[in-house]
Amino acid sequence: TLFRSSIRSLEALDWQLVTIIPEAFIQERLENYTILITGLVASVLFILALVVLYAFQHLLLELEENAKHQERFKSLLGNAPSVIAICDHDFNFVEINPYGLEFFDVVEEDQALYDYNEKLLPPFQPDGTPSKEGLAVYLADAKKNGYVEFTWNYCTSKGELLPSEVVIVESNLHGE
């Protein structure tokens, strides 16, 4: 009867499987999982380090290549036997090559870039057009067509007229 009553009491309960696992087994499993997780984390970090190293190497190569291009550009700009100037949207010189400094009779580059922008333009061109208005028309034309060529008068730093053939090419430099 004891046997029967225990069966009946088991039937009345929801069946649940209870397993007793020794503590040493649990500890061993935890250590194994810890080793596995540590290995995975180390692998992910190693792969991430390789990706960062690869990206860094490409960045260095790109910087070296850019430095070479800049050096070539500066060499061309510095050795060109004609005036080459980089101007802002208001046609003020931002950079000018050595031949341009000599052409405008400017002693130092900083003077050309800051002091002489206004002085290098005569108030009027030979056809009577105010220089600033005429430049605005040519700049708009260069923006529209990508470039424009025209005859123009500049002045030296001492005010002497310099008849010139000008080519303006619209381009972006550092997003400007």
Tens of pLDDT, residue by residue over 25-83, are 778 888 888 999 999 999 999 999 999 999 999 999 999 999 998 888 888 878 888 88
DSSP the chain: -HHHHHHHHHHHSPP-------HHHHHHHHHHHHHHHHHHHHHHHHHHHHHHHHHHHHHHHHHHHHHHHHHHHHHHHHH-SS--EEE-TT--EEEE-HHHHHHTT-SSHHIIIIISTTTTS-SB-TTS-BHHHHHHHHHHHHHHHSEEEEEEEEE-TTS-EEEEEEEEE---STT-
Instruction: Return the higher-pLDDT residue of 16 and 70.
Output: 70
The pLDDT tens digits of the residues spanning 107-153 come to 766 665 655 567 788 889 989 999 889 988 998 898 899 899 999 99
Q: Do 142 and 170 meet the contact criterion of CB atoms below 8 Å apart? A: yes
What is the Rg, in whole angstroms, of the alpha carbon atoms belonging to the chain?
39
Q: What's the confidence (pLDDT) of residue 52?
A: 95
Mean pLDDT score across all residues of the chain: 81
Q: What's the confidence (pLDDT) of residue 1?
A: 42
Query: How much is the pTM?
Result: 0.56
Q: Do 116 and 104 meet the contact criterion of CB atoms below 8 Å apart? A: yes
